[in-house]
Amino acid sequence: MEIGTDLGPGHYPRGVTERTQHDDAAPGSPEPKKVHTFDLIDEVPGASDGEAGPDGSESAADGAGTENDLAEEPAPRGPGRAAVALAGARTAVGRTARRGGAAVRRRLPTTRRGRVLLVGGTAAVVVLAVVAGVLVNAQLRERALIAAPGGVRSLAEKPSEQWSIDLDDPIMATLVEMPGVLAIAGDEKVRGVDPASGEVLWTVDVGENLNCGPTTHLGIGGPGALDPVDPLVCVSSSGDDKQEVTAIDPDGAATTRELDPDALVAPAAGGGLLSFELTGGEQEQRPVVVDKVGAPHLPKGFVGPDLVVRQEDAATGAERWSETVAFSDPRAENCVTYSDDDPAPDNEPEPALDVAGSLGWELTGDIVEVQGCGVSAAFLLDGTRLDDPKDPADPPADGVDTASFASLPDGGWVGPGATPSDAGVPNDVAHLPEGGTVTLDGQVLVPWATDGRDPGLLLTRAGTGTDAVSTDKDDAGAQLWTDPRLGATVVLVRVSGTAVVVDEEGAVRAIDLGTGADRWTLDPEVFSLADMAWAAESLIFGAFTDGDTLLLPVTADPDGESSGLRLLAIDVRDGSMRWDIKQDTPYTQLVSVDGYLAQITQQGVVGLG
């Protein structure tokens, strides 16, 4: 497939945007050595758009050529503020440099000596503008990387322990990123820690059985697209029928209030607290009939409770929104739990009708999905209902129990559409941040980590192959390339025009985002993924990047015969192994906070750098 045509200066082939164009020194190039390239940016932030002429008005000579001479840069895609700032800065410094030259030309000396001095002065203006542009460009890219999921300041060298904090019960602790602060929740308290130095900035006493968040999934890999939590919400409970919620600001200021001890609640982003309340219907736990093959059957005429999903302000209790999910068309497997009161080895667990025990929910980025006995729904955290409440067959109620909706790292979200794929799984629909939608021919592969730059496309698993689909507003939904032989199952990282994926054979492969061309491949034996390619999340526990290196925490023994962890660093340019750290600690949690790595060990928490 032809990817694009030469459109002249300032334009790139479709799928190869200014942010993802192939660099000759990029991965897969003939000379994969590290070369720093810089784009000239067009204006120093804060410079005015108009250049005053001698009479105080804007100079026509300066402004006339601006729109025609400059190649219009593609509009940055929301909601990434770093991308917006980067595009604006690039446009700004170049205009400032041109205006400086125009102002000098309007006062062009007539003597030879004056012209010689002019040459030196103009060169100095241009050099200063270029240097300023390089510095601003580098700073903006670093900020975008640090703010991105899995962004780390540097992975060039093997990290070592920089600081440590001992915990009484580290395995039960949780690490949460707050703005510029690492929150360590454990030992009945929350510590706010400087992620660079390990200095404890503040401590808040909380109760037992802490649930602080929101956090990414613990113990498995997957996309880490969570913004820093502000404020942090912690729910604690004790054996004396007491449940409390505490909201903690980044400076350590905290507010605590009591909750109903029986309330089902979960921390949410933006200082929210989600609650799930069953109302009406039959809620009493009782045995169910099991057929010859062991399948449970609900009682005839059974009517279960509705579910009220509510979000409130964790600190004040003020309601933000609520919606009732009506009971409808229950599936027996979603209404029962299994108990094993008799510990005899030959006894099978007995199923019981248990509408409260079968209720579950999942927070993925800005999306909450809930499912239980005859109830299922998906919401954005602002209360927007994502599934159709009038259609009982609408996902996730049609059998897609979890993870059918997901936030996208560049803004927007993706969910199942009405059209099924050949495999019977609904094709995804991408809801873009500008408000448009794109119906896909497969399922979106959400990257686990990025460098914070939006390439203007999505990778999708379509049948047995992989497609790249544009998300740019001018051609949203256009297929940029397709590779029927690339059976990608997950995207580990997306950086600088390169995506690193796991294919269905267990190989780790780097592909060019603009063309789909292979850049390098690691054999399945490297990660022992041959038989686990469709369950990579159980062996690879996350992904981190500094833009040049991919860090993967992986299990040390894929067969599960021994515990332990390996931290593997792969050069994104050529697939070579940069360094490898073997640890006796089984995986608990590894996070990046403000670009610094922190890890839970068997003794406590350590900072790596």
Tokens representing 378 are 């998906």
**105 neighbors 13 (Cβ within 8 angstroms):** no
**329 neighbors 335 (Cβ within 8 angstroms):** no
The full 3-state SS of 29-44, as one line of letters, equals CCCCCCCCCCCCCEEC
| Residues 6+ positions from 187 with CB-CB distance below 8 Å | 167, 168, 169, 173
Render pLDDT for 541-558 as a digit per residue (tens, 0 to 9).
899 999 999 999 988 776
Residue 364 has a CB neighbour count (10 Å cut-off) of 23
Amino acid (1-letter code) at residue 428:
D
Q: Which residues pair with 350 in a beta bridge?
A: 339
**493 neighbors 500 (Cβ within 8 angstroms):** yes
Please report the DSSP string for 182-241 in residue order.
EEEEETTEEEEE-TTT--EEEEEE--SS-EEE--PPSSS------PPPSSEEEEEEETTT
CA proximity to 513, closest of 558, 466, 473? 466
**447 neighbors 491 (Cβ within 8 angstroms):** yes
Amino acid (1-letter code) at residue 542:
G
- Judged by DSSP in three states, 244 sits in strand
Tokens representing 115 are 């012209």
Render pLDDT for 342-370 as a digit per residue (tens, 0 to 9).
555 566 778 899 999 999 998 888 899 99
Pairing outcome for strands 449-450 and 488-495: parallel
Q: Which position has the token pair 């203007």? A: 456
The model's pTM is 0.76
CA proximity to 179, closest of 161, 198, 194? 194
User: How much is the pLDDT for 340?
Assistant: 64
Between CA 528 and CA 462 the distance in angstroms is 25
Q: Which residues pair with 10 in a beta bridge?
A: none
The helices-and-strands tally (H runs, E runs) of the chain is 4, 42
User: How much is the pLDDT for 50?
Assistant: 40
| C-alpha distances in Å from residue 565, one per residue of 114, 293, 558, 585, 587 | 69, 41, 10, 6, 6
Between CA 228 and CA 216 the distance in angstroms is 11
User: How much is the pLDDT for 31?
Assistant: 38
Helix axes 81-106, 112-147, angle to 10 degrees: 180
Between CA 400 and CA 164 the distance in angstroms is 42
Pairing outcome for strands 181-186 and 286-287: unpaired
User: How much is the pLDDT for 137?
Assistant: 62
CA proximity to 396, closest of 366, 422, 374, 423? 374
Between CA 133 and CA 416 the distance in angstroms is 43
Between CA 118 and CA 107 the distance in angstroms is 10
**359 neighbors 330 (Cβ within 8 angstroms):** no
**114 neighbors 122 (Cβ within 8 angstroms):** no
The ranges of the chain with pLDDT < 70 are 1-138, 217-221, 224-225, 340-347, 392-403, 420-424, 529-533, 558-562
Between CA 309 and CA 291 the distance in angstroms is 34
Pairing outcome for strands 254-259 and 242-248: antiparallel
Between CA 360 and CA 335 the distance in angstroms is 11
Tokens representing 189 are 């308290």
DSSP 226: -
**403 neighbors 71 (Cβ within 8 angstroms):** no
Q: Which position has the token pair 């060039």? A: 156
Phi, psi of 288 (to 5 degrees): -125, 160
Q: Which helix (H) or strand (E) holds 599?
A: strand 596-600
